[in-house]
Amino acid sequence: MSFERRPTALLTGAAGHLGGVLARRLAACGWHMRLTDIKPFEGPLPDGATFLTVDLEDKRAVQDAAAGCDLILHFGGISTEQSFEDIIGPNYRGSFHIYEAARYHRARVVFPSSVHVVGLYERGDKLDQDCVLRPDGYYGLSKAYGEMLARMYWEKHEVESLIVRIGSTLSEPTDRRFLSTWLSYDDFIALVRCSAEAERLAFTVIWGASNNSRSFWRDDGRARIGWQPEDSSDGYIERLDAVVTHDAIAEGLQGGRFVTVDYTREGLPPKDLF
């Protein structure tokens, strides 16, 4: 199903960095935005948007917030590497509540997965969408869970999802690793718009990166939804190629600095199992 009218979208995590970008840019496109977070929205609300304080761990509140929405953009939860106990509530239970709400209200879901579901691959590896997931920490593990949750809800309940394995969504890349993972704001917004405009979303996995020649990633489901990134990090290569962390683990693996949190192995992880 695609939406001939402007869609009504529930956006969780609206007070966060990417949430703010989505709220303002999609409202400017004429979308009806229902914004939620546990923190206040920074700045004035976009025209036509509403804001609700909703805790993702409150199943009833999530269910009520999703009523009448065509699309749920699930950008709430913890987005940095934290302890398992900190992550389990908002990222595991919260994602479950989102998918239960999507099932009840027959809404599509955009689930922002992450490079950190494959963060323990070396930077020289070229990955397809069906590669074995190798999360680099508790945050990445929660995103791998979210991907499997989305797949189960598609196969059991026909809840459609766009899984976006986001690399690094910034105004511009800032170091060598981002030359591979950068996703521009314009490409990011175009991708989310495709999730509403596609006739059939099903369960679609997309590598969330712009058209970067140094990308770590190859095949995905972009042809199914008609998304083609237009920006590229290539124009930053000369300026950023020498900007590195000087940490052998961070520089060797796709997950970068996240990998180094509580990393106790000597050297890079073994490749022989993968």
Q: What CATH number should be reported for the domain holding residue 68? A: 3.40.50.720
155 lies in some domain: yes
163 lies in some domain: yes
pLDDT of residue 5: 63
267 lies in some domain: no
Task: Return the active site residues.
Answer: 139
Q: Is 256 helix (H, G, I), strand (E, B) or coil?
A: helix
Note the pLDDT tens digit of each residue in 162-180.
999 999 999 999 999 999 9
Strands 32-37 and 108-114, how do they pair? unpaired
Alpha helices by DSSP H, 75-184: 84-87, 94-105, 138-157, 178-181
pLDDT of residue 271: 85
pLDDT of residue 6: 84
Tokens, residue 208: 């969330």
Quote the mean pLDDT of the chain: 96
pLDDT of residue 153: 98
Note the pLDDT tens digit of each residue in 190-203.
999 999 999 999 99
Q: Taking the alpha carbons of 7, 24, 65, 166 in that order, is the dihedral positive or negative? A: positive
What is the DSSP code (8-state) at residue 6?
P
26 lies in some domain: yes
Backbone angles phi, psi at 182, to 5 degrees: -65, 135
14 lies in some domain: yes
pLDDT tops 60 at residue 3? no
266 lies in some domain: no
Residue showing tokens 């239960």? 100
Residue of 223, 226, 191, 224 whose CA lies nearest to 209: 191
Report how far residue 204's alpha carbon sits from residue 212's, in angstroms, rounded to the nearest whole number.
21
Report how far residue 97's alpha carbon sits from residue 149's, in angstroms, rounded to the nearest whole number.
11
Going by pLDDT thresholds of 50, 70 and 90, the confidence category of residue 273 is confident
67 lies in some domain: yes
pLDDT of residue 111: 98
Instruction: Name the residue range of residue 14's domain.
Output: 8-260
Going by pLDDT thresholds of 50, 70 and 90, the confidence category of residue 272 is confident
Total structural domains within the chain: 1
Going by pLDDT thresholds of 50, 70 and 90, the confidence category of residue 4 is low
pLDDT tops 60 at residue 62? yes
Question: Is-contact 152 95, C-beta < 8 A?
Answer: no
pLDDT tops 90 at residue 274? no
Note the pLDDT tens digit of each residue in 241-262.
999 999 999 999 999 999 999 9
Burial 226-265 (b: 16+ CB within 10 A, else e): ebebebbbeebeeebeeeeeeeebbebbbbbbbbbeebee
